[in-house]
Structure 1
Amino acid sequence: MRRLGTTVVGTVTAVALCAGTWLLGNGIASHAPPQPSPAQARSGRDGERPAAPALPPSPPDRIRIPAIRVDAPLTGLGLTRSGGLDVPPAGRRNLAGWYEAGTTPGETGTAIVAGHVDNADGPAVFYRLGALEKGSRIEVDRRDGGVAVFTVHAVEAYTARDFPDERVYGPAKRPELRVITCGGGYSRRTGYQGNVVVFAHLTGPRGG
Structure 2
Amino acid sequence: MKPRPRRGRRAGPIGAIALVLLFLGLFVVGMGLGAATGFDLGDLFRGPDKPPPRSFPVLEPSRPERLEIPSIGVSAPILEVGRANDGSIDVPPLKRHNEAGWFDGGPTPGQFGPALIVGHADTRTGPSVFHELNELKPGQEIEVAREDGSVAVFEVNTVEKFDKDQLPMDRVYGDYSRPSLRLMTCGGKWLGGREGYADNIIVFASLVDSREV
Shorter-normalised TM range: 0.7 to 0.9
* Number of equivalent positions: 176
CA RMSD of aligned residues (A): 2.0
- Indicate which of 156, 160, 174 corresponds to 2:160: 156
Distance of 2:156 and 2:21 partners within structure 1: 25
Structure 2 equivalent of residue 22 of structure 1: none
Instruction: Indicate yes or no: 2:87 matched with 1:87.
Output: no
Deviation of 1:68 (Å): 0.4
Q: Which amino acid aligns with 1:143?
A: E
1:38-86 deviation per Cα after TM superposition (whole angstroms, max 9, x unaligned): xxxxxxxxxxxx9622101100000010110000000001112322100
8 Å CA contact 1:51–1:202 kept in 2: the answer is no
Q: Distance between the aligned counterparts of 2:102 and 2:80, measured in 1?
A: 5
Q: Which has the higher mean CA deviation after the structures are superposed, 170-179 or 131-140? A: 170-179
**What's the counterpart of residue 210 of structure 2?**
205
Q: Structure 1 vs Structure 2: percent identity of aligned residues?
A: 42
Tell whether the 8 Å contact from 1:51 to 1:203 is kept in structure 2 after alignment: no
Q: Gapped runs of 5+ residues in structure 2? A: 1-16, 34-53
Relative CO higher for 1 or 2, CA cutoff 8 Å, sep ≥ 6? Answer: 1
Cα deviation for residue 120 of structure 1 reads: 1.8
Q: Give the conservation status (yes or no) of the 8 Å contact 2:31–2:196.
A: no
| Runs of 4+ residues over 3 Å off in structure 1 | 3-7
Shift of 1:12: 2.7
Amino acid at match of 1:138: I
CA displacement 1:127-178 (0-9 Å, x = unmatched): 0000111011000000000100000000000111211122111242200000
Of 185, 188, 195, which residue of structure 1 is paired with 2:189?
A: 185
* CA deviation vs aligned residue, 1:103-143 (integer Å, no higher than 9, x gap): 00001111000000001210000000001110110000000
> What TM-score, normalized to structure 1?
0.78
**Structure 1: which 5+ runs fail to align?**
20-49
Taking the aligned partners of 1:170 and 1:187, their CA distance within structure 2 comes to 29
1:70 paired to 2:74: yes
Q: Deviations over 1:11-54 (max 9, x none)?
A: 431523129xxxxxxxxxxxxxxxxxxxxxxxxxxxxxx96221
